[in-house]
Amino acid sequence: MRLHEHEAASLFRQAGLPVAPFAVARTADEAVAALAKVELPVVIKAQVLVGSRGKHGGIVTADTEAEVREKTASLLGKSVRGFSVESVMVSKKVAIARELYVGVTVDAVAGAITVILGTAGGIDVETVAKERPEALFRRTVVPPAELRGYEARALAREAGFRGDLMVKIADVLVGLFRVFRKSDALIAEVNPLVVTPDESLWAVDAVLEVDDSALFRHPEMPKDTLARIEHPIERAAKEIGVSYVDLEGDIAIISSGAGLGMATMDVVGQRLKPANFLETGGGITEDLMYKTTALVLQKPGLRGLLINLYGGINPIHEGAKGIVRVLKEQRVTFPVVAKALGNRQEETWATLREAGVIIVTDIATEAAADALCAALDAGPAS
């Protein structure tokens, strides 16, 4: 679950990070009232769970009370990258001499936590990694170890900082790491961390994403998990208990496991464009597969569907019935390919074939992708 910037900023402030003064407003009047504790000039930020807000008109500055009222009214109700703005964060505008990046994230490959200090901030860290890799400095911490002060200072020194500024940056890194660990986060970052002309530090951004699986340990966290999922299909997937990630392609994918799903995406992506990642995460029942198939077919512009199922203990023939029901109800005309192996696979194949599904009995997912490509190349049956 990703927190809104003001929520993350509050947690950062509690941990001792130098967060610029701010207030949250849901009306223009509230934004003006916020000036009682946030001095002009200010930055007004749309509170939406999406990046690149500045590039899409979601961050504006105001120098007067009249501008605060006018610009807040303009932002509220606006759509920023498809997300409706319901509140804004009114934050103190600070003088900028330099912008840095600080972040803490999970390194799944190393099974560790990576602390990152960037000497170039305010822009996408992935862009920096590609175009200026020498501007990023990293330290790996293996749990249950913590980031020690001397390690943070060594990282800041490696990045070229000295004296009081080095110590201040190290303190921010240690504080951010503590928030990350305490919150069971997947990522915590400040981008940018501003260095002012007098070498003060201000966190003028706050990103915190908490592991959904750990939310039961955090009663202090917001409870509106579903409401924070703006994409309608992703929200519907959460409600039925499957994992769905929307992508930009036109080939829908259904798989019965996360690893199988990622492998399927990789194979499909070599020649086609996946429209989604979806894994059922459990028993392949008729009801679940009915809902899952209907779910992926909600996306407009699809050209094909690839189903990749494996049933070990769980039989898969009941799930086939759910798939067929949806295909018949929606009168799907584009190619549907299924590689379904395991418990009661022959019954599964027979059920799917009756509905016009192309069956692949080969164990290799590449064979399913080949079959789908061939069907697409052949075009609709005459």
Same domain, 246 and 213: no
- Which of these, 13, 21, 45, lies nearest to 208 by C-alpha position? 13
**331 part of a folded domain:** yes
Domain range enclosing 332 = 232-378
In the sheet with 59-62, reading across from the earlier edge strand, the strands are 22-25, 88-92, 42-46, 59-62
Task: Tell me which of 160, 190, 217 is where a domain ends.
Answer: 217
Q: Which amino acid is at 25?
A: A
Same domain, 128 and 241: no
Residue 186's CATH number: 3.30.470.20
* Per-residue pLDDT tens digits of the chain, which is 382 residues long: 889 999 999 999 999 999 999 999 999 999 999 999 999 999 999 999 888 888 889 999 999 999 999 999 999 999 988 788 999 999 999 999 999 999 999 998 888 999 999 998 877 777 877 888 899 999 999 999 999 999 999 999 999 999 999 999 999 999 999 999 999 999 999 999 999 999 999 999 999 999 988 888 988 888 776 566 667 898 889 889 999 999 999 999 999 988 999 999 999 999 999 999 999 977 799 999 999 999 999 999 999 999 999 988 788 999 999 999 999 999 999 999 999 999 999 999 999 999 999 999 999 999 999 999 999 999 775 4
- Where does the chain have alpha helices with state H? 5-14, 28-33, 65-75, 125-131, 149-158, 163-182, 232-240, 258-269, 286-296, 317-330, 345-354, 365-378
> pTM value?
0.72
Q: Which amino acid is at 131?
A: E
Same domain, 47 and 182: no
Task: Tell me which of 193, 217, 241 is where a domain ends.
Answer: 217
Same domain, 290 and 339: yes
DSSP H or E stretch at residue 100: strand 98-107
Number of structural domains found in the chain:
3
CB 277 within 8 A of CB 306: no
pLDDT at residue number 227: 61
Same domain, 30 and 129: no
Task: Tell me which of 41, 64, 92 is where a domain ends.
Answer: 92
- Which of these, 109, 115, 230, lies nearest to 177 by C-alpha position? 115
